[in-house]
């Protein structure tokens, strides 16, 4: 318990540092634009480097208190300031340049709050539709498995609870081979899986059945000097029982909605 607070502070510092670097890059690239075209915070956040998977949550969804149930307790004392930031405009370059300004703490809280709101939004009809546009545009990338023939993947989290120690990184789910893969973010920026949740890809495929790919028609066959492995050994490998993963602890809530 004594080491938990320093560890949590370090994780928060690293996440905030990554966000600051991306933010400064986004602001410098937008300096050529007119000040009259000041982006909203949500648009700015979704345009940051490595944030391509996020969609812009409708302001009316953010302002509906029903959709925010339970988040205040999860986010902490800066909830109000973070919400004001999310519903406002992007921070200025001057604000981001001074590390002593309170905006940095609020920005890190806003990142977490928006991520948790985003996970709820993409389960709505409008959110699913917004993510479908990204899916059809191949914005989530392709399955690394050769025999999946570049099947488009979907973002997923292994837990619906935000991790303070980088233990719930975003994963990629392939609808064709039904397997999970690491999301190798350039620069190592950490994106929490709770910002997309464990339900999204499966609800997406149930909702838009027309985009569900057929199962793989080819299977890799191991060979030794050109000969297939004996059928007995191959059958034993196929019959090996697979355990459910990730396992859920007894009495663990399925999501933040159930806590």
Kindly report, residue by residue over 128-183, the tens digit of the pLDDT: 999 999 999 999 999 999 999 999 999 999 999 998 888 899 999 999 999 999 99
What mean pLDDT comes out for the span 193-206?
97
Q: So what's the pLDDT on residue 255?
A: 53
The backbone region for 230, taken as left when phi is positive above 0, alpha when psi lies in -120 to 50, beta otherwise, is: beta
Q: Can you give the pLDDT at residue 109?
A: 94
Q: Which residues contact 254 (CB under 8 A, 6 or more apart)?
A: 160, 248
Q: What is the pLDDT of the chain when averaged over all its residues?
A: 83
* Cis amide leading into 246 (omega within 30): yes
Can you tell me the mean pLDDT for 15-25?
Answer: 52
pLDDT over 50 (residue 48): yes
Cβ contacts of 191 within 8 Å, gap of 6 or more: 50, 51, 53, 169, 170, 183, 185
Which helix (H) or strand (E) is 107 found in, with range? Answer: helix 103-121
pLDDT of residue 250: 61
Q: Which residue has the higher pLDDT, 37 or 36?
A: 37
Encode pLDDT of 87-119 as tens digits.
Answer: 999 988 888 887 777 888 999 999 999 999 999
Rounded CA separation 42/153 (Å): 24
Look at residue 148 and give its three-state secondary structure. helix
**Cα–Cα distances in angstroms (integers) from residue 58 to residues 55, 67, 96, 120, in the given order:** 9, 12, 25, 12
Q: What is the pLDDT of residue 22?
A: 52
């Amino acid at each position: 318990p004594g080491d938990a607070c320093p560890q949590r502070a370090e994780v928060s510092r690293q996440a905030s540092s990554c966000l600051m670097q991306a933010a400064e890059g986004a602001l410098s690239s937008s300096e050529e634009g007119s000040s009259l075209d000041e982006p909203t915070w949500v648009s700015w956040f979704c345009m940051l480097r490595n944030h391509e998977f996020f969609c812009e949550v409708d302001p009316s969804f953010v302002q509906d208190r029903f959709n925010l149930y339970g988040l205040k307790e999860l986010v902490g004392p800066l909830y109000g300031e973070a919400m004001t930031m999310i519903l406002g405009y992007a921070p200025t370059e001057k604000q981001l340049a001074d590390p002593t300004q309170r905006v940095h703490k609020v920005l890190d809280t806003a990142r977490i709050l928006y991520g948790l709101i985003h996970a709820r939004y993409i389960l709505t009809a409008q959110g699913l539709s917004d993510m479908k546009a990204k899916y059809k545009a191949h914005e989530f990338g392709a399955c690394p498995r050769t025999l999946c023939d570049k099947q488009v993947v979907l973002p997923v989290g292994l837990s619906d609870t935000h991790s303070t120690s980088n233990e719930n990184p975003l994963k990629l789910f392939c609808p064709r081979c039904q397997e999970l893969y690491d999301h190798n973010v350039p620069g190592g920026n950490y994106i929490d899986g709770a910002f997309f949740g464990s339900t999204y890809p499966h609800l997406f495929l149930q909702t838009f059945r027309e985009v569900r790919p057929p199962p793989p028609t080819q299977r890799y066959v191991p060979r030794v000097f050109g000969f297939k492995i004996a059928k007995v050994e191959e059958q034993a490998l196929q019959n090996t029982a697979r355990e459910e993963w990730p396992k859920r602890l007894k009495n663990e809530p399925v999501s933040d909605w159930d806590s």
